[in-house]
Amino acid sequence: MRQTDIPLGEMIDQLPILAWSCRPDGTTEFLNQRWLDYTGLSHEESLGWGWKAAIHPEDLEKLTQTWLRVLASGEPGEEEARLRRFDGEYRWFLFRAVPVRDEQGNVVRWYGTNTDIEDLKRAETLLAGENRLLQMMAGGYPLADILDSLCRVIEENGNGCLCSIVLVDPRGDGLEHGAAPSLPLGYNEAIHGRPINPDLGTVRDGCLPQ
């Protein structure tokens, strides 16, 4: 088979990117197999405005408003939003759309792609968190505030993890609460003042040792 004999639809389905096309009014008419496999939605479920079901609720309004502005302008546009994977996990994607025009200059179709930028977003978040911590340390912020901010940076980049920092008291034989912004108050109170036990450790399997 010559390269020119390869069906266009088959080629688009095999592209290593999520691709789609829309009518002039912005309603979806086609999504490639990569898009369907990623979201777990059927082609019928995704047509029209059905693709919205795969967008993170916190990002849907922003993405929709950007899409409407792009449609009104008739110019290429882009926006970042989280897209739900078939297993329920959300990842950041860059949504891009370009218009296709007829000989009279009228928009007859929109072509678009979704590019996974999750790793880039995490790197940006981590860098911003590191800069924030450096500014706090240089600015003489209290240790409790710095440790709290450190925990939040880790949690933002840890995909659902909860972070705590436990300090050793000045005598070296007990524990002191350092920071744990997302853990229950009772947990932090139970940690504070506990003696150090090298045989049991401080926390095992997420529970306090007896």
CB contact at 8 A, 112 and 97: yes
Beta strands in the chain (DSSP E): 18-22, 28-31, 77-84, 90-101, 107-116, 165-168, 175-179
Question: What pTM, to 2 d.p., does this model score?
Answer: 0.68
- Tally Cβ neighbours within 10 Å of residue 157: 14
Assigned superfamily of 3-116? PAS domain (3.30.450.20)
**What span, in angstroms and rounded, lies between the C-alpha atoms of 62 and 44?**
24
**pLDDT tier at 7, thresholds 50, 70, 90:** low
The burial of 28, by beta-carbon neighbours within 10 Å (0-12 exposed, 13-18 middle, 19 or more buried), is given as: buried
Structure confidence by residue, pLDDT tens digits, 158-184: 767 888 888 887 777 788 887 888 888
Kindly list the domain boundaries of the chain, sorted by start residue.
3-116, 118-160, 164-210
> Which of 145, 153, 151 lies closest to 124 in space, CA to CA?
153
Q: State yes or no: pLDDT of 2 exceeds 60.
A: no
Q: State yes or no: pLDDT of 202 exceeds 60.
A: no
**pLDDT tier at 45, thresholds 50, 70, 90:** very high
21: left (phi over 0), alpha (psi -120 to 50) or beta: beta
